[in-house]
Chains A and B, each alone.
Chain A
Amino acid sequence: MNSAPILTVDNLKTYFFTDEGTVKAVDGASFAVQAGKTVGIVGESGCGKSVTALSILRIIQRPGRIIDGEILLRRVDGAGKSSEVDLARLDPEGGEIRAIRGGEIALVFQEPMTSFSPHYTIGNQIIETIQLHQDISKAEARNRSIELLRMVGIPRPERRIDEYPFELSGGLRQRVMIAMALSCNPRILIADEPTTALDVTTQAQILDLLREIQERTRMSVIIITHDMGVIAEMADDVIVMYLGRVVESGPVDEIFHQPKHPYTQALLRSIPSIFAEPRSKLPTIAGSIPHPHNRPSGCPFHPRCNERMAGLCDVYAPRLLPIGERQMASCFLYHEPEEAPQA
């Protein structure tokens, strides 16, 4: 399927201007989301995954700001004509982006414990979302909320709807969160570490739920995680991020079976395997993520890379370029440097 993507992020740069200096949380990320597909964004903590998600919704908090790039959301009207809106250009507090937030693009957050306000019932918070985007009465919105809760597998939803978030377990709360995100039939669901705070059995249930809902609604999903297992289970396409940049992207099979970028290879090596020799040491990636104020020159991964080429990787910055038909990587193992050294 070669139709135009529903969401295209191009050269997105989101910087945080702090007193200690500028943090380039997202520094030129590009990727596309196809309709009805799941894109997995993977990377270590601090690589800019969550900031990318918040940038798409334009809810980056000060001192952060999108300083460059495009976020194109494509819409198809009734006559089959498609139009695009650049989210990066919208007023972040304006009506247009607010209609998109929660309406066309919904977010499921990583903290099911704290992402609901403890002062209102879950019903209140779901009904509010529905009424923000749809012109229906409170009673109708309530019925719809109960239906949604039933759909995400909340037992006795007509009673649960009047409970407070702290009366629910973490797993149930994350289900409610998903119900709330789905309440306005979004075309894109961004799930930011949706299972990180949950125990393993609950994780599996939530992932099953997400996949089942996606099959039913044909919406696109962007799933953000540091867990390669989640990616393998959920994603059609994978984006590997490191220090605010996309270092590799491609279909999930290619990423897992022929990873090109040394960082992707290292990530895959560090997954525990049941076939491994007992008591053998789990391979790790040498070093740790550099401090955001101290970005390495050239390729940001070169200090930790075991295939780095002196005089090349530490001087020139690689670009994300195609390798093969559908895979892309930004690494000089596959491309010659084509630009002047970075200052």
Chain B
Amino acid sequence: MENTLFGEKKAEARKLTFRSIEQYPEAPVSLGTTLSNFTGDWRTFMPVIDESKCVKCYICWKFCPEPAIYIKPDGYVAVDYDYCKGCGICANECPTNAITMEKEEK
């Protein structure tokens, strides 16, 4: 599983959507943790990585509060958009401006 933070665990994860009052749990408890519930649908802006500028310093990987940035087998970083909330900290911290925040169309 290359494109994921949580490897195989993510295979069962989904975005929880309730379509009628009956589908809701009686109390406001999460059904499982964020390992099984996607939280990446709050974004307005999404980080986009330009690998030609990336120097593999991993500052973005350290600073991401989610964390939604992971290191690929080739050593470059990538964003898991199922969890990224679009805060922009990675783009702000990147010393080579390899990350830009682009408005997301949904």
A binds B: no
Residue numbers of A with Cβ under 8 A of B are none
